[in-house]
Amino acid sequence: MKMRAAVLEDFGQPLRIQEVELAEPRTGEVLVRLVACGVCHTDLYTASGADPSGYAPAVLGHEGAGVVESVGPDVTSLSPGDHVVTLFSPQCRECVHCVDPRTNLCMAVREEQNKGFLPDGTTRISRDGEDIRHFMGCSTFAEHTVMPEIALAKISPEAPFEHACLFACGLSTGLGAVINTAAVQPGTTCVVFGAGMVGLGAVAGCRLRGAERIVCVDLSPERLELARGQGATDLIEGGENTVEKILEMTGGFGADYTFEATGNVKVMRQAVEAARMAWGLCTVAGVAGKGETLDIVPRLLITGRRVAGSSFGGVKGRDQVPVLVDRYLAGEIDVEPFLSHRISLDEVNRGFELMEAQDGIRSVIEFS
Ligand SMILES: NC(=O)c1ccc[n+]([C@@H]2O[C@H](COP(=O)([O-])OP(=O)(O)OC[C@H]3O[C@@H](n4cnc5c(N)ncnc54)[C@H](O)[C@@H]3O)[C@@H](O)[C@H]2O)c1
Ligand SMILES: [Zn+2]
Ligand SMILES: [Zn+2]
């Protein structure tokens, strides 16, 4: 079939919106009609050429929500008409990691996905006979996409797509870092560094887990106000002396839980140092630049602090994204403040500009 898509042709150049060809879903694959899609830093990171593992031509986008249009052979868990959220982090439910409750790092399709192919090593997207690669296994800056069944979470048909798509990446990452990775206990003190999509999701997660005190650190006063709306009790404008401020607020001890959602290794270090001696747990969600390292004084670890990392918030996507969406539908998570701009597919490059200007939390593409 023919469809419109935003294609990365050359790194550092605007995406080119054009008509491309999409082939039928093969075994284990599903054809999805996209209804909404968030524009995320990872899309821009690849488009800019900064990502050393990037490839082109490719259709970018990975924060999609839409409707199943048709399914290929052997697809058992989805049918036409189902509402789905796309998962760059799939869940096959069979591999050594999927059957273990400690991780969400499914091994099933990693290698091919990283190269821009579907699990069978080919692409479904093309243009005049030339293959166009899939991005993060999703390619959701397009009217339709073909994805593996194991990379689609079936969600409630009640959920508006423009909100549901935010659960495809940053929001679930923040919520999951708190709920899964740290498993924050009620009555505790938490500090969240960064109030972008991931950090704000973490603040909401701390509130859902019943944290007593939720401190949010960011450079932007507007973003700190959004954090207050998600349940932050204390706001700090970030800087050199952030750790001292947190120690002062906590009787000199530090926080029970800290979360890093900036991608800056200096902030990661602050998050480790702001965790309480004896049992403070620092969870790192930000993605640092290639080659950067995190500096930790070992004494901080010997005296009981721990450091954990979290990919997609440890969320096993097919099982847990639908649960998070249900909690949103039940009124427990306020998603509307994250949706800053509604744009069309043709305006996707404007979505990148808004993101670079830190104008709002998420621009969402709506497909008509
Ligand atoms: N682990 C995962 O699976 C996963 C998934 C999505 C995103 N991420 C990563 O998480 C990070 C956050 O993503 P996002 O979409 O929320 O990004 P974002 O850029 O919207 O938010 C980052 C926030 O950090 C703040 N910040 C920058 N420097 C700071 C400092 N010194 N002190 C305090 N705050 C500071 C910025 O003002 C901004 O509000 C990124 O590194 C992203 O790549 C990871
Ligand atoms: Zn993303
Ligand atoms: Zn798996």
Based on the domain organization, do 23 and 157 belong to the same domain?
yes
N-term to C-term CA, the chain: 17
What's residue 32's pLDDT?
A: 98
- Atom nearest to 217 CA in ligand 1: 33
What's residue 51's pLDDT?
A: 87
Question: Is residue 329 one of the residues assigned to a domain?
Answer: no
Based on the domain organization, do 96 and 205 belong to the same domain?
no
Residues 6+ apart with CB under 8 A from 289: 263, 265
Residues 6+ apart with CB under 8 A from 185: 209, 210, 256
Instruction: Map residue 84 onto helix, strand or coil.
Output: strand
294 Cα–ligand 3 center, Å: 29
Based on the domain organization, do 219 and 160 belong to the same domain?
no
What's residue 138's pLDDT?
A: 97
What is the rounded distance in angstroms from the CA atom of residue 88 to the CA atom of residue 105?
A: 11
Nearest-CA residue for ligand 1 atom 20 is 196
What are the phi and psi torsion angles at 57 (to 5°)? -75, 145
Question: Any idea what the CATH number is for the domain that residue 202 is in?
Answer: 3.40.50.720
Nearest-CA residue for ligand 1 atom 7 is 170
Question: Is residue 151 one of the residues assigned to a domain?
Answer: yes
Question: Does an H or E element contain 162, and which?
Answer: helix 161-164
Based on the domain organization, do 159 and 21 belong to the same domain?
yes
Based on the domain organization, do 52 and 137 belong to the same domain?
yes
Burial class of residue 93 in the structure, from the number of CB atoms within 10 Å of its CB (0-12 exposed, 13-18 middle, 19+ buried): middle
What does the DSSP assignment read for 164-227? HGGGGTHHHHHHHIIIIII-PPTT-EEEEE--SHHHHHHHHHHHHTT-SEEEEEES-HHHHHHH
What is the rounded distance in angstroms from the CA atom of residue 168 to the CA atom of residue 37?
A: 9
Question: Is residue 281 one of the residues assigned to a domain?
Answer: yes
Instruction: Map residue 313 onto helix, strand or coil.
Output: helix
Question: Is residue 24 one of the residues assigned to a domain?
Answer: yes
Based on the domain organization, do 15 and 164 belong to the same domain?
yes
What's residue 167's pLDDT?
A: 98
pLDDT tens-digit map of 316-356: 999 999 999 999 999 999 999 999 999 999 999 999 999 99
Type of residue numbered 33:
R
Residues 6+ apart with CB under 8 A from 306: 275, 279, 280, 281, 282
Number of domains observed in the structure of the chain: 2
Q: Can you read off the two tokens belonging to residue 6?
A: 């935003």
What's residue 52's pLDDT?
A: 86
Instruction: Map residue 335 onto helix, strand or coil.
Output: coil
Does this model's pTM top 0.95? My answer is yes
Mutate to test the pocket of ligand 1, among 39, 41, 88 (most ligand atoms within 8 A of CB): 41
Question: Is residue 322 one of the residues assigned to a domain?
Answer: no
- Atom nearest to 220 CA in ligand 1: 37
- Atom nearest to 194 CA in ligand 1: 24
| Count of all residues that appear for the chain in the document | 368
Based on the domain organization, do 180 and 163 belong to the same domain?
no
Based on the domain organization, do 159 and 199 belong to the same domain?
no
What is the rounded distance in angstroms from the CA atom of residue 24 to the CA atom of residue 31?
A: 7
Nearest-CA residue for ligand 1 atom 32 is 238
Based on the domain organization, do 162 and 207 belong to the same domain?
no
208 Cα–ligand 2 center, Å: 22
Question: Does an H or E element contain 47, and which?
Answer: helix 41-48
Q: Nearest ligand to the C-alpha of residue 148?
A: 3
Based on the domain organization, do 127 and 180 belong to the same domain?
no
Question: Any idea what the CATH number is for the domain that residue 95 is in?
Answer: 3.90.180.10
Mean pLDDT, 10 residues at a time, over the chain (368 residues)?
Answer: 97 97 98 98 93 93 98 98 98 97 94 94 96 97 98 98 98 98 98 98 98 98 97 97 97 97 97 98 94 96 97 98 98 97 98 95 95
101 Cα–ligand 3 center, Å: 12
- Atom nearest to 201 CA in ligand 1: 16
Contact by Cβ (8 Å): 84, 67: yes
What's residue 267's pLDDT?
A: 98
Cα angle 158-162-165, degrees, rounded to a multiple of 5: 90
Nearest-CA residue for ligand 1 atom 18 is 196
Contact by Cβ (8 Å): 3, 24: no
Question: Is residue 218 one of the residues assigned to a domain?
Answer: yes
177 Cα–ligand 3 center, Å: 19
Strands 257-260 and 189-193 come out as parallel
Query: CA 268, 39, 97, 107 torsion: positive or negative?
Result: negative
Longest dimension (CA), the chain: 66
Q: Can you read off the two tokens belonging to residue 360?
A: 């709002």
Domain of residue 207, residue span? 171-311
Question: Is residue 325 one of the residues assigned to a domain?
Answer: no
By annotation, the residues acting in catalysis are: 40-42, 62-63, 92, 95, 98, 106, 110, 169, 362
Residue with tokens 């005296």: 303
Based on the domain organization, do 162 and 181 belong to the same domain?
no
Ligand 1 pocket, Cβ-based, cut-off 6 angstroms? 41, 169-170, 173, 193-199, 217-220, 223, 238, 261-264, 267, 285-287, 310-312
Q: What's 289's DSSP letter? A: P
What is the rounded distance in angstroms from the CA atom of residue 25 to the CA atom of residue 29?
A: 5
249 Cα–ligand 2 center, Å: 33
What is the rounded distance in angstroms from the CA atom of residue 265 to the CA atom of residue 36?
A: 32
Q: What's 288's DSSP letter? A: P
pLDDT tens-digit map of 290-309: 899 999 999 999 999 999 99
Based on the domain organization, do 6 and 112 belong to the same domain?
yes
